[in-house]
Structure 1
Amino acid sequence: MEYDIRLTLTHSYHLPAGNGRHVVRVVPRALGQRQRLKLSMLTIDPPPSEQFDSVDFFGNQTTTFVHADAHSKMVISMACRVAVGQPEPLPDAAVNAAQLAGELADLRDLGPLSPMHFLGPSPRLVSDPEIAAFARSIRRDGDSVAATVMRLGEALHGIMTFDATATTVDSNPVDAFQLKRGVCQDYSHIMILALRALNIPAGYVSGYLRTLPPKGGTRLEGADAMHAWVKAWCGAAPGWVEYDPTNRCVVGTDHIVVGYGRDYADVSPDIGHLRSAGNQTTAQAVDVKVAG
């Protein structure tokens, strides 16, 4: 499946802002046969005084740019075409909790893909006793780690209500869990905390999701937003499994990966600093459609 993706991030400032430095992660990753980036274009308006591309620790493509001059509005636009292959079937190898603990104890790898980075606290996630208790209530003795991941994702989906007004990008996942409401970022953060409470390495995946128009309705261009889901390490043989708790499904060809990290802080689409005063607003528009 090939997709054409367009993203627009608009920052509007009440008073002109200057001395800005931003790091952007919005271009899909190249992931072998699973995901091939065929072309991409990133533009910033006003044009920055400095700009360069790099790859972060987790292998995500980043663009860093600087605005030395004052500006009242900034628009980041990304367009790309990406080919997504059929996902690998769920692994047959069944690793249980005790076996996983043994494999983790034997690990000596601290590279970007090491599950050791995804076990403890991370910039936006600190363990919570209520979420941990929820995770323990879902776990079943004898289940494989992969089965636990699926069971936990389904259970979380069952108790949460998707509500774009309940939280913000800065909300604490513990608050979202208590409200039982939130968006994909909240679902993913809660599931990551729950999995880590069970000593299952879990991380955050940012990306895009192809959505279909409502039955009998028309597809609205630019009406979507970036999406998030979870990756969990189920043992050396099964490897990483990606699960979307917001949609209660294993990740498939409708999911396009932009970045992997420990939580949202590692893969934020736009992070940085600037000098300004007064209020500012941010708008995001995403359009994912089948190429043709």
Structure 2
Amino acid sequence: MRYDIRLVIDYSYAAPADHTRNLLRLLPSDAPGTQRVTRRLLSIDPLPDERRDSLDFFGNAMTSVAWHKPISAAAFTLTATVERAAPPPVLDLSPPLAGLAAEIAAEQSLAPQAPHHFLGASPRIRPVPEITAFARALITPGMTAFAAIEAIGRALHREMRFDAEATTVDTAPLEAFTARHGVCQDFAQVMIAGLRGLGIPAGYVSGFLRTFPPPGQPRLEGADAMHAWVRAWAGAQMGWVEFDPTNDQPAGLDYITVAIGRDYSDVAPVLGALRTAGAHESHQAVDVVPMER
């Protein structure tokens, strides 16, 4: 499936902000076998005085920008065309959950995709006994690692309620889990905490999800938003698998990856520092449009 994507994130400042610097992770990249980017462009207004494009440790595209003079607003616009391949049928080749630790230990590489980076605590996801206990209660004797991954994702979908007003970008996984509500970021980070609590390496994926309007209604432009889901390591044979607990489904043909990391802090679309005398406002609009071949 081929998609045309347009994302606009804009900021406005109550007072002109100076010494503004931003680190952006907005550009999708190729993923062997699943995703091919044929066009991508990140436009920034006003034009920054500095811009540097690079890759981070996990291979995500990063754009660093800075302005040397005060600015009252900033807008980041992404346009891209991405081809997404349908994932092959899933055959559970993962080991029993009790044997996963041995397979992790046998992985001697510390390359970015190695499971070791995704097993311990990360900046936003620490061990949470309550979430670990919830995950452990779902495990049955002889359950495979892959079955455990899906069981935890599906259980969180049943237990938690999507509520766009319930949390903020800084809400901790325990808070969202205790209240049983949140947005896709919360669903993903709670699931990651649960998986790691059971010894399953797990990471955070940010990107786009094609959405469907109600039957008989036209698709609304700008109604989509950036999305988040989970990748987990299901053993040496299966490797990394992806699951979306917000929507109770594997991440398949309708998912476009932008960045992967240990948690939201590794993949945040916009990070920055500035000096200003007032508050600021931000708005986001996303269009993910499937294109006919």
2:233 maps to 233
1:199 maps to 199
1:32 maps to 32
* Greater CA drift, 23-32 or 179-188: 23-32
TM-score, scaled to structure 2: 0.98
Please, which runs of 5 or more residues in structure 2 have no aligned partner?
none
Q: CA deviation at 1:223?
A: 1.1
- Which runs of 4 or more aligned residues in structure 1 lie more than 4 Å from their structure 2 counterparts after TM superposition? none
Please say if 1:89 is aligned against 2:89. Answer: yes
Matches of 1:268 and 1:180 in 2, distance apart? Answer: 23
1:256 maps to 256
Matches of 1:50 and 1:86 in 2, distance apart? Answer: 39
Please say if 1:47 is aligned against 2:47. Answer: yes
Q: CA deviation at 1:192?
A: 0.1
Please, which runs of 5 or more residues in structure 1 have no aligned partner?
none
Q: CA deviation at 1:99?
A: 1.9
* Greater CA drift, 82-91 or 236-245: 82-91
Q: CA deviation at 1:272?
A: 1.6
Trace 1:240-279 onto structure 2 (pairs within 5 A). 240-279=240-279
1:290 maps to 290
CA contact (8 A) 1:81 1:291 kept: no
Q: CA deviation at 1:187?
A: 0.2
Match of 1:74, as an amino acid?
Answer: A
1:17 maps to 17
Match of 1:173, as an amino acid?
Answer: P
1:129 maps to 129
- Deviation per CA, 1:215-259: give whole Å up to 9, x if none: 222211111110000000010111011000000001111000001
Match of 1:164, as an amino acid?
Answer: A
Q: CA deviation at 1:188?
A: 0.1
Match of 1:216, as an amino acid?
Answer: G
2:80 maps to 80
1:208 maps to 208
1:161 maps to 161
CA contact (8 A) 1:104 1:116 kept: yes
Q: CA deviation at 1:32?
A: 2.2
Q: CA deviation at 1:91?
A: 3.6
- Deviation per CA, 1:116-152: give whole Å up to 9, x if none: 0001110111111110110111111111100011111
* Greater CA drift, 276-285 or 257-266: 276-285
CA contact (8 A) 1:153 1:245 kept: yes
Q: CA deviation at 1:88?
A: 2.8
Identity of aligned residues (%): 49
- Deviation per CA, 1:185-210: give whole Å up to 9, x if none: 00000000000000000000000000
CA contact (8 A) 2:92 2:146 kept: no
- Deviation per CA, 1:146-167: give whole Å up to 9, x if none: 0011111110100011000000
Q: Secondary structure of the equivalent of 2:137?
A: helix
Matches of 2:114 and 2:94 in 1, distance apart? Answer: 20
Please say if 1:170 is aligned against 2:170. Answer: yes
Match of 1:270, as an amino acid?
Answer: V
CA contact (8 A) 1:154 1:245 kept: yes
Q: CA deviation at 1:107?
A: 2.5
Matches of 2:91 and 2:274 in 1, distance apart? Answer: 46
CA RMSD of aligned residues (A): 1.0
CA contact (8 A) 2:223 2:287 kept: yes
Matches of 1:97 and 1:173 in 2, distance apart? Answer: 24
Matches of 1:172 and 1:196 in 2, distance apart? Answer: 16
Q: CA deviation at 1:283?
A: 0.9
- Deviation per CA, 1:39-78: give whole Å up to 9, x if none: 0111110000010110100000111111111111100000
Q: CA deviation at 1:105?
A: 2.1
CA contact (8 A) 1:205 1:228 kept: yes
1:65 maps to 65
Matches of 1:85 and 1:68 in 2, distance apart? Answer: 42
Match of 2:221, as an amino acid?
Answer: E
